[in-house]
Structure 1
Amino acid sequence: MKLPAAWLCCLLLTTAPAWAAQTMVSGKVYLERDGKPGRGATDPGLAGVQVSNGQAIVKTAADGSYSLPVDDGQTVFVIKPDAYRFLLAIDGLPSFWRHYRPNGSPALKYGGIAATGESTRGWDFGLQPERRADSRKGLQMLVFTDSQTASLKDIGYYEQSIVGPLVGRTQARLGTTLGDIVSDDLSLYPAINKVTTRLGVPWFHVPGNHDLDFDAANDQQSLESWRNIYGPDTYAVEEGGASFVFLDDVVYDPNAKPKYVGGLRQDQFAFLETYLKGLHRDRLLVLGMHIPLFDAAPGKETFRRADRQRLFALLKDFRNVLVLSGHSHTQQHYYHGKADGWQGDRPLHEYNVGANCGAFWSGVKDAHGTPDSTMSDGTPKGYALLDIASNGTYRLQYRVAGAPASEQIGLHAPKVLRQGAYPAWGVYANVYMGEDASVVEYRIDGGAWQPMAQVRQPDPRLMVENVADDLATRLRGYDRSPEATASPHLWRGALPTGLAVGSHKVEVRATQPDGAVFTATTSYSLQPAQP
């Protein structure tokens, strides 16, 4: 018996057992030309497009057809290749998946997935050609995380401070939210999606620990309501010469405290193993997840170490890997090395992105009525930009919500010191994208540049807010600012007191490992005084 071409591709791309006894789905991946819903007579099939059930991967045959086994609870999705874009669903999100849940989800507070029925034929997926001629040559990506909206009012804050200033102004070709889209109220998904899709950017989501069905009996059922809206929880998208793999890394256990831990499931490893086999080792590989791969504190296993080691083993031969994570409501760069079990040629770069909501929409409101919400490490609320060049190199930037792109350093210095006093006071520079390899310098009144010392302590700017909250006899905001914690990107320079009486200009510059230079200025005054 001669097997169809799509089946031959299946056998080549997966190590799954014989599929004869399994339910099979079939359909075509096609090029949308006629502008009408569904595959029309003039919409040709696309060959060689990868389609997955979350474990196995097949490639479409010459006519765009595919066949794939599917189990109850699985989602079939397309791995979009470079130079194409997805059609949009009615909610404005990319349309690239379809659930197989014949009888629907078990009873859940937020509904889960409705019964899909037994139909398994005609599972067609449309793609359109990318409009840009240079679609394979790099891109810009918007990276959001932890919008963490608990109400429609929070969604209003998100729209005003994060999304609104970007509408009609972004050059991004795709975007992602790395989990905690809402804060446990999953009924808010349609409302926040309506805001996010105003950006007009294909948007891909990752689930977080605040996106779970907490009435689910187990981890397998804990994302039913999330998946009903956003599709597969583990999938890949190819764009601009890079591969993006989005991963659910929240393992739910209703009997544990806390009820989740970072980690990956067996089916996710099966998908990764199969997908990574087909990638060139020099291609940029970007992994997006919610819980960081590094542990939150020494000796505290916040991501299962066995899963981390298994993931590292799959990634070690790739020369260009970037991990993007959220969850912490702080911001830092982390480089996994041998001490973490990483065995690659060079350290694995993980960028833990600052939150859209900052410190959970807390703190004093600004003139527009939006909470300040500075994070505990002194980073203001905001989002990140990932720029990818045609050669696969990348650059990361942070954007403070509602501020110009030049706002990259937060400064704190005393306003006045006594002339001639012992120089025990300093200027502090919180370099939001700073890392250990950053070079941070300062100078006074245009003099010689001097190095600043990296310090692991709380940002004094946030400590001022903490003290103001402590001394206030009435609440200054709905929730007070978070207690300042040691910042991984704070530098200090001593302020000289032997200068002339009057005002003195302080300039700070930070040179990043990628060559980017940030600057900021402040001033302090010297006054004479008698004992």
Structure 2
Amino acid sequence: MRASLTVLLLACLAVPAHALPPPCSSGFVFEDRNGNGVRDAGEPGIPGIKVSDGVQLVTTSADGGYDVPYEDGRTLFVVKPAGYDVSVRPDGMPDFWHNRQYHKGPALKYGGTPQRQPGCRHFGLRPRGEATTAGEFEALLLADSQTASVQDVDYYWRDIVQPLVGKHGASLGLTLGDIVNDDLALYPEMLRTTMSLQVPWLFIPGNHDLDFDAASDADSLRTFRHHLGPDTFAWEEDAVTFIGLDDIIYRPGESPSYLGGLREDQFAFLQAYLPTVRRDRLLVIGVHIPFFEEGARGFRAADRERLFALLRDFPHVLLLSGHTHTQRHWYHDAATGWHGTQPLHEYNVGAACGAYWSGVKDAAGIPDSTMADGTPNGHARLRVRKGGEYTLSWHAARAKDDSGIGLHAPNVLRKGAYPAWGVYANVYMGEADTRVEYRVDGGEWKAMKRVEQPDPSLLVENMRDDLADALRGYDRSPEAEPSHHLWRGALPTDLAEGEHRVEVRAFDRWRGETTAHTSYRLQTATP
């Protein structure tokens, strides 16, 4: 008997790999009527739903079936259609993707993509009622949460996430890369923390989300995809279509080790998918490295022009990016390869971690973390209406007011001195043509002048750090760099001695008029 078992075992081991049963390439997209994520009896298939592996794109048949030819190591996903919600995984993530890994992948420090049984995969969708599909759509936007430790995750929770729990009206969340700062073991905790916001959340990878021990770019996001989903995806709502793209080209063993750009498989997906996208909606393209970024690690100009050619005929396009740990608006034109009828707007979203969770801690033990351009860390919101119209806003973390304006003025000036000192207004969402005005003691409103120089409030922090005899925080505030959204107005010194109120108003393109105020004091002095 023992000899027979030995012979049988040897016979099984002798079966060549190509004789193993092939992995399943098909499945169904079905109406998940009870919301349990499992296809139960009586739950019909849904026709006309797009399914992709990031390269190939198919549409479900009349019975909801699909067949995407199997390619080991790719991530299969449903393009969530407008008017539907996806089933929810036990960890709170939207259940719209599945990693195909039939054979064992490369051994990686953080695990990569686990080998799995090649079973068929079904995806559940739940129809929305008419009341939930009408009106304005809102999304929460984060960039660069960039946690390097459990302590940083706690900052992220208390500074960014907790203040929003139960207090936002968003239907979707999007993080634009650098979810962590190289320590991919933090993904489960970051996922748990983020999903407490109880909205579907989509993640785009950044240059600090890579498996740095991977031998190639193709294998560098295996751990990311295992925890957070596909690195190429599309998601459709009634008023907006989102496309997320990994734009980090990893180059192990080379210098620089990465740069910005897109892969051939991503262009294959875009060429197949974009012709199916409705053009009366806003089309949002989300990446990590900005399209306007130049230099050795910037975005490859040839890839940018190739992408822009695919987007040229879309009347409503918004680009979203992160990476810089500053905030600005950029309008692409022929100089950067855009040849549409109107300039193409890119919003480079400020970082959730600000300047890498640096600076002096407040009473709650959370670092100040102001960014190098003077923008406080926080989150952005995107609101979209049918017809392609959208509004954007920036919200500083735990801010007592939400004016979107940071003011700096001297405490005291000499009465009668030459008026060489001014009030500075950092209008976080300001653009080159933003109208910013100020007045003193309720007088006449006067225009402030846009200046590209470091934010003086951050310069003060730099000086305090320089002059301190001991560290004021774990990491010092970043060295201030010129801001693209700073305005200055000269302060009069010919007024009465004493305190004077300074009011500033900015006319935001989307929010309208916003205001902030500060004060300074005039003092009489003798030589």
Distance in 2 between residues matched to 1:507 and 1:258, nearest whole Å:
47
Q: Secondary structure, in 3 states, of the residue corresponding to 1:94? A: coil
Percent sequence identity over aligned pairs: 57
Give the structure 2 partner of residue 449 of structure 1. Answer: 445
Give the structure 1 partner of residue 508 of structure 2. Answer: 512
User: Counterpart of 1:386 in structure 2: which amino acid?
Assistant: L
User: Counterpart of 1:79 in structure 2: which amino acid?
Assistant: V
Confirm whether residue 243 of structure 1 aligns to residue 237 of structure 2: no
Give the structure 2 partner of residue 62 of structure 1. Answer: 62
Give the structure 1 partner of residue 469 of structure 2. Answer: 473
> Are the counterparts in 2 of residues 23 and 69 from structure 1 also a CA contact under 8 Å?
no
> Are the counterparts in 2 of residues 206 and 233 from structure 1 also a CA contact under 8 Å?
yes
Distance in 2 between residues matched to 1:213 and 1:427, nearest whole Å:
47
Distance in 2 between residues matched to 1:300 and 1:446, nearest whole Å:
50
Residue 240 (structure 1) shift? 3.2
2:382 is aligned, of 371, 376, 386, to: 386
User: Counterpart of 2:479 in structure 1: which amino acid?
Assistant: E
Distance in 2 between residues matched to 1:37 and 1:305, nearest whole Å:
43
Cα 1:509–1:29, aligned 2, differ >3 Å: closer, same or farther?
same
Give a deviation string over 1:381-408, Cα, whole Å, max 9, x none.
1010001113320000000000145231
Give the structure 2 partner of residue 408 of structure 1. Answer: 404
How large is the RMSD of aligned CA atoms in angstroms? Answer: 1.4
Confirm whether residue 41 of structure 1 aligns to residue 41 of structure 2: yes
Give the structure 1 partner of residue 163 of structure 2. Answer: 165
Q: Secondary structure, in 3 states, of the residue corresponding to 2:133? A: coil
Q: Secondary structure, in 3 states, of the residue corresponding to 2:265? A: helix
Give the structure 2 partner of residue 107 of structure 1. Answer: 107
User: Counterpart of 1:84 in structure 2: which amino acid?
Assistant: Y
Give a deviation string over 1:69-114, Cα, whole Å, max 9, x none.
1211112110001111111112111111112211132000000011
Q: Which runs of 5+ in 2 are unaligned?
A: 1-21
Distance in 2 between residues matched to 1:86 and 1:301, nearest whole Å:
36
User: Counterpart of 1:350 in structure 2: which amino acid?
Assistant: E
Number of aligned positions between the proteins = 506
Distance in 1 between residues matched to 2:505 and 2:37, nearest whole Å:
54
Give a deviation string over 1:447-505, Cα, whole Å, max 9, x none.
11111000000000000000000000000000000000000000000011111111111
Normalised TM-score (structure 2): 0.94
Q: Secondary structure, in 3 states, of the residue corresponding to 2:249? A: strand
1:261 is aligned, of 253, 259, 262, to: 259
Distance in 2 between residues matched to 1:500 and 1:264, nearest whole Å:
61
Distance in 2 between residues matched to 1:369 and 1:33, nearest whole Å:
46
Q: Secondary structure, in 3 states, of the residue corresponding to 1:518? A: strand
Distance in 2 between residues matched to 1:203 and 1:35, nearest whole Å:
18
1:199 is aligned, of 190, 197, 211, to: 197
User: Counterpart of 2:62 in structure 1: which amino acid?
Assistant: A
Residue 350 (structure 1) shift? 0.4
Residue 512 (structure 1) shift? 2.0
Distance in 2 between residues matched to 1:407 and 1:35, nearest whole Å:
41
Residue 35 (structure 1) shift? 4.2
> Are the counterparts in 1 of residues 238 and 281 from structure 2 also a CA contact under 8 Å?
no
Distance in 2 between residues matched to 1:252 and 1:131, nearest whole Å:
43
Give a deviation string over 1:347-396, Cα, whole Å, max 9, x none.
11000011010000000001100000000000001010001113320000
Normalised TM-score (structure 1): 0.93
Distance in 1 between residues matched to 2:447 and 2:142, nearest whole Å:
33
Give a deviation string over 1:299-328, Cα, whole Å, max 9, x none.
656001110010010011111100111000
Give a deviation string over 1:29-85, Cα, whole Å, max 9, x none.
001113444111121111111111211211111111111212111121100011111
Confirm whether residue 52 of structure 1 aligns to residue 52 of structure 2: yes
> Are the counterparts in 1 of residues 325 and 351 from structure 2 also a CA contact under 8 Å?
yes
Distance in 2 between residues matched to 1:228 and 1:82, nearest whole Å:
26
Q: Secondary structure, in 3 states, of the residue corresponding to 1:88? A: coil
Distance in 1 between residues matched to 2:134 and 2:62, nearest whole Å:
23
Distance in 2 between residues matched to 1:404 and 1:524, nearest whole Å:
21
Give the structure 1 partner of residue 289 of structure 2. Answer: 291
Residue 130 (structure 1) shift? 2.5
Q: Which runs of 4+ in 1 moved over 3 A?
A: 34-37
